[in-house]
Amino acid sequence: VTRLSPDLDRAAAAVRDAESPLGSRRGLFEVPEGIVYLDGNSLGPLPRSAPDRLDEVLRGEWGTGLIASWNTADWINLGRRVGARIAPLIGAAPGDVHVGDSTSVTLFKTMVAACRLRPDRRVIVVEPSTFPTDGYVAAGVARLLGLDLRWCDPADPAAALDDDVALVSLTHVDFRSGAMFAMADVTAAAHEVGALAQWDLCHSTGAVPVDLTGADADLAVGCTYKYLNGGPGSPAFAWVAPRHQAALDQPVTGWMGHARPFDMELEYAPTDGVGRLASGTPPVLALSVLDAALDGFDGISMETLRQASLSLTDYFIDLVDARLGTVLEVITPRDHARRGSQVSLRHEHAYGVVQALIERGVVGDFRSPDVARFGFAPLFVTHTDVYDAVEHLVAVMAGGEYARPGYAVRNAVT
């Protein structure tokens, strides 16, 4: 049995939690008793305020106000209002964030629009370890527009850039490893060859400070069901740098992106600003839940959240090193500047490891081929959670629980 140094034991974890400026926020979320939830990087937990808010929208606004609620409850501007609340989390101005479709559909629209901003160029650059949808959509856009897809080395994306490149689209924090790109540096390299840089912020928003304006980025997209806790399938957002908005030409030119939708004109005329990314009727129920979820970020800076997140991931890595260093490989960068808010462990039986942990009440997830992922959403995860999770992980590994025959067949969602 490894003797833990006193600064890593459970009492030390409790002291760190007591000192955390985020301690009271945990109560904003519904995390079932006995569960250590380390999957907020995949699906955030239910914010306690969401059911009442949804009930109010369902019974009060829809049930009582009926169609008038588009005006009286301002449903028509709900996407804009929610976008303005996401903006400070990503270094954007309040009017520059659009919310409405899935991440994949949003990526399609912004990628086409970005390539149309560089009509004389033929290449879209993505990286092979990106989240699959980003690569699939980029390939679809390339086929549609008659462009080529070029894979870059994630260790050196700039090496793939030349003056044929219209757009480089990267995931800021890697979904599998938790590694983070230097956004400003890669963006500068793209601009040096005249290309645009787009960032997928799914694993960044609400977990690490993002400064799209400071990095001089061109476009960004991100989901809202992970660290923003917007609920399963909550709509994604898009950001477009103000300098590109007037020329932005997206492919799904629906009436909600029109300058005057209720004039019912024959010709499409896009509205000013990022609102032109809208296509159809906004998902009011989902947006309302997301709006309630964003209350969790009120009055707290991303820097404070980042400090808490790094403290949690450092602690998890230190415990794994001390107790399981010979059994599990930490594949997430140890360098703070290159780490998001998750820690990934590699093991041949990673799926079984995750399933055995779930049976013990510690929820992480598995990503093919051999990665066990643990997310440390600083709004509700504590250091004692981390301690308890590693305690269970030690038992799972020592008892070989990961090799149970039931884990030979994977669930549809892993």
Ligand X SMILES: Cc1ncc(COP(=O)(O)O)c(C=O)c1O
- Binding region for ligand X (CB under 6 A): 102-104, 131, 133-134, 171, 175, 200, 202-203, 223, 236
- Please pick, among 131, 181, 366, 380, the residue that the annotation labels catalytic: 131
> Which H/E stretch holds residue 151?
strand 148-151
Kindly tell me which of 351 and 387 has the beta carbon lying closer to ligand X.
Answer: 351
For ligand X, give the closer residue by CB, 170 or 390: 170
Shortest Å, Cβ 197 to ligand X = 16
Alpha-carbon gap, residue 325 to 319, rounded angstroms: 9
Q: Which of 121, 176, 360, 373 is catalytic?
A: 373
| Distances, alpha carbon 373 to alpha carbons 37, 208, 366, 383, in Å | 12, 17, 6, 17
Judge whether 373 counts as a catalytic residue. yes
Taking the complex as a whole, the smallest distance from the CB of residue 135 to ligand X amounts, in Å, to 10
Tell me how far, at minimum, the Cβ of 132 lies from ligand X, in Å. Answer: 8
225: annotated active-site residue: yes
Cα angle 28, 29, 34 (rounded to 5 degrees) comes to: 130
Q: What H or E segment, with its residue span, contains residue 285?
A: helix 284-293
**Which is the catalytic residue, given 225, 316, 366, 387?**
225
Select 105 or 330, whichever has its Cβ closest to ligand X. 105
d(CA 190, CA 195): 5
Residue 285 tokens, joined: 């129920």
Q: Are strands 342-346 and 329-330 parallel, antiparallel or unpaired?
A: antiparallel
- Helix 10-19 with 302-324: angle, nearest 10 deg: 180
Is residue 200 part of the annotated active site? The answer reads yes
Please say which residue, 96 or 134, places its beta carbon nearer to ligand X: 134
Beta bridge partners of 99: 237
Q: Which helix (H) or strand (E) covers residue 86, if one does?
A: helix 78-86
What is 27-55 written as a DSSP string?
GGEE--TT-EE--TTTSPPEETTHHHHHH
Active-site residue, selected from the candidate residues 96, 101, 134, 200: 200
Active site residue 263: no
Looking at the Cβ atoms of 201 and 319, the one nearer to ligand X is 201
Minimum distance from residue 111 beta carbon to ligand X (Å): 13
Q: Give the catalytic positions in this structure.
A: 131, 200, 225-226, 373
